[in-house]
A and B are shown apart, each in its own frame.
Chain A
Amino acid sequence: MSIKRNPGIPLDLDAIVDIKINRSALERRAKSLGGRRSVKKQWQVAWLLKAITVIDLTTLAGDDTKGRVRRLCAKATRPVKEEVLKALGADKLNIHPGAVCVYHNFVATAVEALAGTGIPVAAVSTGFPAGHTPMATRLAEIRASVKAGAQEIDIVIERHMVLCEDWQALYKMIQKCREACGEAHIKVILGTGELGTLTNVAKASMIAMMAGADFIKTSTGKESVNATLPVSLVMVRMIRDYQEMTGYKIGYKPAGGIGDAKTALLYLILMKEELGDEWLSPELFRIGASSLLTDIERQLEHCATGRYAARHHQPLV
């Protein structure tokens, strides 16, 4: 499956003004979602395997080293123990995460470690996580990461542009980043936990897509509130509206706070219900996480053996 890339559209402020979001109603929908759908037995296995394929396996810590990044890449190459995959009849599915996500300084390390696996490297960029650095520096950062081999660039927006409703500036800023990315795909991190309202989240989502985002992403993982279901509901509904307006399909990436298999399934259900089966693939859906993988492995092992599995039996992420 290949998705026609979103070139962006001219800034359409009318479409922004009309956006209405009712928080209580969204929260009710988000709350009932888990009760409305359930996957069991081999369906659960298949869905958990799918969840692995949409993980952006991430390390974004101050103490990252080349060694740490190589370990992560090794895990990306072999995300689930082979005997478990075999037992589940999934050893031929070529299960691996959607990407490995690192800071610019470790792009080269990751590219080298993942050579031949087909797993792309994503770099966080543009003054991550706050975005308060000179524009020229940020654009140079993007170009450097692309040059180092990153196929995906996760940029952060300047939150003040949303809070002050400076949509023109936000649009231009994202557009410039998109230009700098060139062939690399661009994921636009909104920092939803710092945008104040769901309406702001919706408007920022729409601006990002108009400016050419390939993915819209909730958070850096560094805000006090990261991905939540209500926020996700707002963003995926904006993706639906944008597709309605332009025909382009935009990807969605919740990041931060998705740490267990059950929550990951809930997000897959959200995508299926609100956007459709096409969004159940790494082309259009990613989850930014690292410890999530361990929990999914444990659930898969449980499905394979019937015994609840221990954390320390799963190879370290």
Chain B
Amino acid sequence: MSVSKIFKSMEYGPAPESVSEANAWLDSHNRKFKLFINGKWVNGSGKAFKANNPANNDPLASIAQASKADVNKAVKAATDAGEAWRALSGFERSKYIYALARLVQKHARILAVLESLDNGKPIRETRDIDIPLVARHFYYHAGWASMLADELPGYEPHGVVGQIIPWNFPLLMLSWKIAPALAAGNTVVLKPAEQTPLTALYFSELCMKAGLPAGVVNIITGDGDTGKALVAHEGIAKLAFTGSTEVGKFIRKAIAGSGKEITLELGGKSPFIVFADADLDSAVEGVVNAIWFNQGEVCCAGSRLLVAESIAEKFYKKLRARMDKLRVGDPLDKAIDIGALVDDTQVKRVQSLIAIGLKEGGQIYQAKAALPKNGCFVAPTLITGVEPSSKLAQEEIFGPVLAAMTFRTPDEAITIANNSRYGLAASIWSENINTALDMAARVKAGIVWVNSTNQMDAACGFGGYRESGFGREGGREGMLAYLRLKSLAKLKPLKALEPMQQTVFEPIAGIDRTPKNYVGGKQARPDGSSVMPVVSPSGKLVGEVGRGNRKDIRNAVEAAAKHAGWSTSTAHLRAQILYYIGENLDARKDEFANRIKSMTGVSITKATTEVERSIERLFYYAGFADKFDGAVHNPPMRDIAIAMNEPLGIVGIVAPQEAPLLGFISLMAPAIATGNRVVMIPSDIHPLAATDFYQVLETSDVPAGVVNIVTGEHDVLTQTLAEHEEVNGLWYFGKAGGHAGVEAASISNLKQTWTHKGKAYNWTSADAQGRRFMEKSSQVKNIWVPYGA
């Protein structure tokens, strides 16, 4: 095209990024890749598959499929490398991680090009966002390696970590997984997505360049079968997965009861809320970065637009005009906003969801951008008139499709925003700091961006609430996910206690007492109107408690759900009430000691110690309630990034069979100190301490519904509680053997589970209390507040 013609039309021309360096690298491997195991390239024994460029469907390279045998090899390499890697000082490990950061920077260009070729995302994004964030992640964690011993004493690495990452941010997700794992002293077997293995393979060479000891990082390519083999491998101590909620649930279930630790970073349907007093033009730009970043293939994409009804039409008009400026096309063109979706399957899925949106009555607007004829392209799409009941409002699309609806008031905005099974991120636009922070506090999401969107940094934890997963990546909380308490390794296996048989038949002294359930602040007769005997080790009947059933659990959870106010009450109030519970328990110390003695047969001295420890524990968490502070992070931008600890919501707690009072209180106290409401299933062998305890609760100003107690057999009640979808967390310290069922049953709403993993906790020891219990009771919400007058 001639200069004079362009001078008149003033259009953009092609601005291609060079692929010669990337091609040369692919050619240097004859476009046929092996597995990176034990520091070397190793042949895969499965059937190799192709990596394609989704922008034009050209094949890029042949990729090895790791078989089960290859997975075994990789895990063995990581296991063998583990001891020496753990034995290195933090400083030594830090030097390797620092080298990886520097190498990523030095090789930034080729990494950016490879990523764009393999995934279809625009070079602008890989060059300006993905790769710089990768380098930043290694830098940040190089620091953690050297600080670990001082900052997180008492912790040790898990061992071999299995990591499975998605195709949407291939190298960035690799860095989120590998950097903290190495900093903590773990060794790694990582499987990149089969659609996008290239940058992980290039990274293998960077590991060699950095002189990383063989076996510390192993990269195995392959499809879902490789992933399954990795998940199932007994040598894996912890799994970290980023990807779809569906696969996340599969993994959670597959490893239930195995003792493997797990963190999941899953899907989302994140709200993007625009108030009438927002800077609307900036909010429009925010939408572009929320849903048309990475073709909308972003777990935290702002895919649900909630606009104040008063400005909705004005905002849509601005948005449509902005959409028409978006350029879709060759991802390697430097003037392209939106590249190709990752493959045909994804294109079809997105298109079918757009069709559903149309059928459900949505109004569809697609950007006028011309699409290339070949390749996996979808035009940026806005669907207005979506209602919360529409499929498009509920289901993650993972494409460039924005579903828009309106709200009238801040309360309604929050109600709509939280009307989702997900809870990953939220973006809130208002120039009123009161409105913005009110929304930030109330939205159920792990990450909240005020007047911004899709901000990420290694210093700030990333991860979701609800079915968006659990665990955080980045920050201190992200480091903790790759560590475990040293003391846990010393615990002995837990033995199940079976009910004693009554051998002595004599009536219980005194007036007959009827222990009941405690639900919604009231004593409640068990639904089944049946009881189970409580028998002492000497065969004497000590009492009878209700034999709770499904409906009792249902009622208890309903009561907990109804009394949500506790979760937003002040920490000072929660502290006062915990102190008061302690005070009232102290007044009845002897009675509780005698009760414990009669049920368990321990000496009165031991029983008294258990009561005293329980009182001590109540005081401890009363004191901690108003000191469990969040943090203010330091991301490299002008921003106040607040990490807030928030309660999980409703926590089901199955208390230990042993230590009937202390075990119960050791778990209840931190859970309610952080603002959870709890449904407690006490020891099924010695339940009377817990039923006596509700009288203490009744006299201690504990608001109704905060603590609910249902007695019954662990095997029977746990399942209902673990499956209940209104319950956000499930702690299982009950009868030995029950934890696997809990982990498997928790998946329908992905509640956060914490179990004894078959280990016997010593409830009288100092390890049975502490910050860790507060951390388990809470989840971190990171709120980003950029500022500037």
Whether the pair B7, A40 counts as a contact (CB closer than 8 A) is no
B6 is an interface residue with CB less than 8 A from chain A:
yes
Residue from B9, B10, B124, B451 within 8 A of A25 (CB atoms): B451
Interface membership of B601, Cβ < 8 A: no
Judge whether A273 and B325 touch: CB under 8 Å: yes
Mostly, the A contact residues are helix
Cβ contacts under 8 Å, A42 to chain B: 1-3, 6, 13
Say whether B3 contacts A27, CB under 8 Å.
no
Does chain A have a CB within 8 A of B19? no
For residue A173, CB closer than 8 A to chain B, the reply is: no
Cβ of A22 < 8 Å from any Cβ of B?
Answer: yes
B278 pairs with A20, CB closer than 8 A: yes
Within 92-134 of B, Cβ neighbours of A (below 8 Å) are at: 124, 127-128
Say whether B497 faces chain A, with CB atoms less than 8 Å apart: no
* Cβ contacts under 8 Å, B281 to chain A: 237, 240
In the assembled complex, A119 has its CB within 8 A of some CB on chain B: no
Q: Are A43 and B4 in contact (CB under 8 A)?
A: no
Checking A26, A38, A240 against B15 with a beta-carbon cut-off of 8 angstroms, the contacting residue is A38
A90 with B3: CB separation less than 8 A:
yes
Among A22, A26, A41, A88: residue with most chain B CB under 10 A: A22
List B contacts of A27 (CB < 8 A): 788
| Docked-complex contact A40 and B451, CB < 8 angstroms | no
Instruction: Look across to chain A and name the residue whose beta carbon is closest to the beta carbon of B282.
Output: A25
Q: Which residues of A contact B11 (CB under 8 A)?
A: 43
Residues of A within 8 A of B789 (CB): 23, 197
Given A38-B15, A49-B7, A93-B4, verify A24-B787 contact (CB < 8 Å).
Answer: yes
Asked if A7 is at the interface of the complex by the 8 Å CB criterion, the answer is: no
Residue B638 at the chain A interface, CB threshold 8 Å? yes
Question: Which residue on chain B has the smallest CB distance to residue A21?
Answer: B279
Give the interface segment out of A28-36, A122-130, A139-147, A308-316: A28-36
Q: Once the chains bind, are B6 and A43 in contact (CB under 8 Å)? A: yes
Contact of B335 among A26, A28, A29, A36 (CB under 8 A): A36
Q: Is the Cβ of B279 less than 8 Å from the Cβ of A25?
A: yes
0/1 interface trace, chain B 275-293, chain A, CB 8 Å (1 if under):
0011111110110000000
Q: Is B279 a contact partner of A37 (Cβ separation < 8 A)?
A: no
Which residues from chain A contact B128 at a C-beta distance below 8 Å? 32, 35
Complex contacts, B280 vs chain A, CB 8 Å? 20
Is A20 a contact of B279 with CB atoms below 8 Å?
Answer: yes
- Contacts A32-B128, A42-B2, A46-B6 hold; do A24 and B452 have CB atoms under 8 A apart? yes
- What residues of A have a CB within 8 angstroms of the CB of B15 in the complex? 38-40, 43
B-contact bits for A63-83, CB 8 A (1 contact / 0 none): 000000000000000000000
Q: Which B residues are in CB contact (< 8 Å) with A89?
A: 2-4
Distance in angstroms between the alpha carbons of A46 and B5 in the assembled complex? 8
Cβ of A12 < 8 Å from any Cβ of B?
no
Interface residues of B in 307-351 (CB under 8 A from A): 325, 334-335, 337
A37/B10 in contact, CB under 8 A:
no
Q: Which of A39, A92, A240 contacts B4 (CB 8 A)?
A: A92
Q: Flag whether B786 is at the interface (Cβ < 8 A).
A: yes
* Alpha-carbon distance between A24 and B635 when the two chains are bound, in angstroms: 14
A89 CB to closest chain B CB, in angstroms?
Answer: 5
Given A39-B15, A40-B15, A93-B7, do A20 and B285 touch, yes or no (CB 8 Å)? no
A contact residues around B3 at 8 Å (CB): 42, 45-46, 49, 88-90, 93
Whether B279 pairs with A272 at a CB distance below 8 angstroms is no
Interface size on B, residues (CB 8 A): 38
Interface 1/0 per residue, A259-290 and B, CB below 8 Å? 00000000010001100010010000000000
Q: If A22-B431, A50-B10, A197-B789 touch, does A38 touch B285 (CB 8 Å cutoff)?
A: no
Cβ < 8 Å to A, chain B residues 584-624: none
Bitwise interface map of B from 10 to 40 toward A, beta carbon under 8 Å scored 1, else 0: 1111110000000000000000000000000
* Binary flags per residue of A226-260, CB closer than 8 Å to B gives 1, else 0: 00000000000100100000000000000000000
Residues of B within 8 A of A36 (CB): 124, 335, 337
Q: Is the CB of B13 within 8 A of A39?
A: yes
A43 with B279: CB separation less than 8 A: no
Closest Cβ–Cβ distance, residue A234 to chain B (whole Å): 9
Find out whether the CB atom of B7 lies under 8 angstroms from the CB atom of A29: no
In chain B, what residue has the closest Cβ to A303? B3
- Take A35-B124, A237-B281 as given contacts and tell me if A24 and B12 are in contact as well, using a CB distance cutoff of 8 Å: no
Q: Which residue of B lies closest to A271 (CB)?
A: B10
Bound-state CA distance A228–B325 (Å) is: 22
Contacts of A237 in B (CB 8 A): 281
Residues of chain B within 8 A of A23, CB atoms compared: 788-789
Taking a contact as CB atoms under 8 Å apart, the answer to whether B12 and A39 are in contact is yes
B10 touches A24 (CB 8 A): no
Separation of A40 and B282 alpha carbons in the complex (Å): 29
A20 in contact with B1 given A90-B7, A93-B7, A273-B325 (CB within 8 Å): no
- Cα-based distance from A272 to B14 in the complex (angstroms): 17
User: Considering only CB atoms, which chain B residue lies closest to A42 in the complex?
Assistant: B3
Once the chains are docked, how many angstroms separate the CA of A306 from the CA of B421? 59
Which residues does chain B contribute within 8 Å of A43, judged by CB atoms? 1, 6, 11-13, 15
CA distance A160 to B788 in the complex (A): 22
24 A–B contacts from the bound complex (CB under 8 Å): A20-B278, A21-B282, A24-B788, A25-B452, A26-B279, A27-B788, A35-B127, A35-B128, A36-B337, A38-B15, A38-B335, A39-B335, A40-B15, A41-B13, A43-B1, A43-B12, A43-B13, A45-B3, A45-B6, A46-B7, A50-B7, A50-B10, A89-B3, A197-B789
Instruction: Please give 20 more A-B residue pairs, beta carbons under 8 A apart, in addition to A42-B6, A89-B3.
Output: A20-B279, A20-B280, A22-B282, A22-B788, A24-B452, A25-B286, A25-B786, A35-B127, A38-B15, A40-B14, A43-B12, A43-B13, A45-B3, A46-B3, A46-B4, A47-B10, A49-B7, A50-B10, A93-B3, A93-B4
Which 9 pairs, one residue from A and one from B, show the smallest C-beta to C-beta distance? A43-B13, A25-B282, A23-B788, A46-B6, A24-B786, A22-B279, A38-B15, A38-B334, A46-B7
